[in-house]
Amino acid sequence: MKIKLIKIGKTPIDFEVKSDEITFKGYLEYDSGKLILLRANLSGFTLCECSRCGEEFKLKVDEKIEFFICDGVFDSDASMDLDVVESFDSTADLDELLISELELIKSDYHSCENCKTE
Ligand SMILES: [Zn+2]
């Protein structure tokens, strides 16, 4: 699912995309300048490798996601500490964002049930 950034105004646009057992659901809203705010919830289950034994297991995901999408290059103002993703085709590619957020979560330390109880 791709949304053209130019279509996003002050009225939030809802979206919902799914990948296997993960749902990425939230809205996009115009903020200021070239910035679009994305606020969403990532929930469901994903296969993840245990950081201790290397076994794959199902990880329960329930994360609040909030960042800005910038239409083009983000001129970072040193006074602002924002979480910004740059878009170079003036669209918000929600499937791609879902995957990158999921990869971020998976790269954290997670241990499977067996390793937790030891
Ligand atoms: Zn383990």
Q: What digits encode the pLDDT tens for the residues 53-89?
A: 999 999 999 999 999 999 999 987 755 678 999 999 9
For residue 76, the model assigns a pLDDT of 75
Report pTM. Answer: 0.88
**Helix H or strand E segment including 33:** none
Per-residue buried b or exposed e for 18-53, using 16+ beta carbons within 10 Å of the residue's own CB: eeeebbbebebebbeebbbbbebebebebebebeee
Give the span between the Cα atoms of 24 and 42, in whole angstroms.
5
**Centroid of ligand 1 to alpha carbon of 117 (angstroms):** 10
Distance from the CA of 48 to the center of ligand 1, in angstroms? 10
